[in-house]
């Protein structure tokens, strides 16, 4: 029974990794736009797709934690 709570606690690592990766993506986006403002549209599209995929990993981790908690 206690192993379930340990596993759920470890799922927090997945959510933290998603948060850090989103921060890194937008940090790189702002640096890239500062260096080359003419490529803003293309860079924003790529950054939003990357942020969406990183956020999906965090949400998958959250869903697995909820499933472990209640099943």
pLDDT in tens, 2-23: 888 888 888 888 889 999 999 9
The encoded tokens of residue 46 equal: 């790529």
pLDDT band, residue 70 (cuts 50/70/90): confident
CA–CA–CA angle 7, 10, 16 (5° rounding): 150
CATH number of the domain that residue 50 is part of = 1.20.20.10
Q: Flag whether the pTM goes above 0.75.
A: yes
Structural domain boundaries, residue 9? 2-70
Output 71 or 16, whichever has higher pLDDT. Answer: 16
Closest CA to 11 of 50, 56, 63, 52: 63
Instruction: Count how many domains the chain has.
Output: 1
Average pLDDT, the chain: 92
């Amino acid at each position: 029974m206690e192993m379930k709570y340990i596993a759920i606690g470890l799922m927090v690592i997945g959510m933290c990794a998603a948060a850090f990766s989103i921060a890194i993506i937008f940090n790189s986006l702002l640096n890239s736009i500062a260096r080359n403002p003419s490529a803003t549209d293309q860079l924003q599209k790529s950054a939003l797709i990357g942020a969406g995929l990183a956020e999906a990993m965090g949400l998958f981790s959250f869903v697995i934690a909820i499933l472990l908690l209640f099943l």
